[in-house]
Amino acid sequence: AGLERLEAGGLRAAVHAAVEAATRRSRELGESS
């Protein structure tokens, strides 16, 4: 159960990082145009 929780936390962190990167990229593109 501990390992599953660790994997779930890592997956959530990876998704959060991807969303944050996409948001930052779209914001930069919006400012440049």
Name the pTM for this structure: 0.62
CA angle, corner 17, sides to 28 and 9, nearest 5?
165
Q: What is the C-alpha to C-alpha distance for residues 1 and 11, in angstroms, rounded to an integer?
A: 15
pLDDT in tens, 1-33: 688 888 889 999 999 999 999 999 999 999 887
